[in-house]
């Protein structure tokens, strides 16, 4: 059975104020879905608020750690599709204070999946946002989906657990889940300035030296937010097919980059090659090299990234310039 249309679908989105959540909600609304957003802290700086999209969705206030909030949202709004994007996503914050990360990312995942299981008569699709960090630090690169989740540091472990819990709900209870493992997602709307792309753009905009916490040689995949949103939508639509359920899919740009390469690309695109980055070499609890094979997503889902690094960074820079001009 093929997915017909988002028109009239009743969709619950956790993490709706984040960079991906804001863009996903907007795309779902364009396609005619009824969207319910879980909001923990209402951030007026979030693109969900700044764009006015918040006025077009139903809001449920609460946290992932509160099972009753999640169960009520799914039941009262008669949810048929769930996108679980909500998480504590900052590696450094997880290192400094692992307990809140474990609570949000692990307890939050099993609370949500249990609420979906209880209302299995309503819920037809569950998309779980995991991460390439779930694989941990292993010698085999690029990561492929047949590798086990082997996180060691707090954030990585929380994503490994997310994957295992999601798969347990499929294999034990037949819950129609699918797992997305993306590289580092970037784009307009990410206001976590500790991340390399928004932090570097802001530094260059103000004429300051960009800060690199590592030695600059760490390798990552960088996925533009519109490609990530497309990945989540394609996965949800494919869940009509039984062979997709319980599966995990990698999403990456096929060309990993070092941190220094990203900073240099931004310096070039912003015309600020006169400003040298400040390399601190102080990164802790971070994996040195991570990148993904997206071959399975391409072959099974037909997903390929539509944005080159230059095009994605160009759109991102344009967004931040407009945002920072208003901040001055």
How far is residue 45's CA from residue 66's CA, in Å, rounded to a whole number?
25
Q: Do you find a cis peptide bond into 142, omega within 30 degrees of 0?
A: yes
How far is residue 111's CA from residue 158's CA, in Å, rounded to a whole number?
14
Q: Residue 147 phi/psi, 5° resolution?
A: -80, 145
Q: Which helix (H) or strand (E) holds 35?
A: strand 34-39
How far is residue 31's CA from residue 54's CA, in Å, rounded to a whole number?
16
Q: Are 288 and 222 in contact (CB under 8 A)?
A: no
Q: Are 17 and 61 in contact (CB under 8 A)?
A: no
In this structure, what token pair is assigned to residue 157?
A: 């472990």
Assess whether 155 carries a catalytic annotation: yes
Compute CA distances 275 → 197, 201, 263, whole Å. 15, 12, 10
How far is residue 292's CA from residue 184's CA, in Å, rounded to a whole number?
11
Torsion sign (Cα): 251, 256, 262, 266 = negative
Q: Are 262 and 196 in contact (CB under 8 A)?
A: yes
Q: Where are the alpha helices (DSSP H) in 140-195?
A: 154-173
Marked catalytic residue, from 135, 155, 170, 307: 155
Q: Are 68 and 111 in contact (CB under 8 A)?
A: no
Hey, which residues are catalytic here?
155
């Amino acid at each position: 059975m093929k997915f017909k249309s988002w028109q009239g679908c009743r969709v619950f989105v956790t993490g709706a104020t984040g960079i991906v959540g804001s863009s996903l909600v907007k795309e779902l609304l364009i396609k005619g879905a009824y969207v319910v957003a879980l909001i923990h802290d209402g951030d007026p700086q979030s693109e969900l608020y700044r764009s006015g999209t918040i006025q077009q969705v139903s809001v449920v206030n609460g946290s992932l750690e509160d099972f009753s909030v999640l169960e009520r949202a799914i039941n009262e709004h008669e949810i048929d599709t769930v996108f679980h994007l909500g998480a504590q996503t900052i590696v450094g914050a997880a290192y400094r204070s692992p307990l809140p990360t474990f609570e949000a990312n692990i307890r939050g995942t099993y609370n949500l999946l249990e609420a979906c299981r209880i209302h299995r008569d309503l819920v037809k699709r569950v998309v779980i946002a995991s991460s390439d960090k779930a694989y941990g630090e292993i010698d085999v690169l690029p990561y492929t989906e047949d590798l086990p989740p082997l996180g060691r540091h707090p954030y990585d472990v929380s994503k490994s657990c997310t994957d295992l819990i999601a798969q347990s709900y499929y294999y034990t209870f037949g819950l129609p889940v699918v797992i997305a493992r993306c590289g580092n997602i970037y784009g307009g709307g990410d206001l976590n300035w500790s991340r390399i792309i928004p932090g570097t753009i802001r530094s260059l905009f103000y004429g300051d030296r960009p800060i690199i916490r590592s030695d600059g040689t760490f390798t990552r995949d960088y996925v533009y937010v519109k490609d990530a949103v497309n990945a989540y939508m394609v996965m949800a639509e494919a869940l009509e097919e039984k062979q997709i359920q319980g599966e995990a899919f990698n999403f990456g740009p096929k060309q990993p980059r070092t941190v220094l390469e990203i900073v240099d690309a931004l310096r070039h695109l912003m015309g600020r090659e006169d400003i040298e980055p400040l390399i601190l070499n102080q990164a802790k609890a971070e994996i040195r090299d991570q990148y993904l094979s997206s071959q399975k997503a391409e072959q099974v889902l037909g997903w390929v990234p539509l944005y080159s690094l230059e095009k994605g960074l160009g759109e991102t820079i344009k967004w931040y310039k407009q945002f920072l001009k208003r901040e001055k």
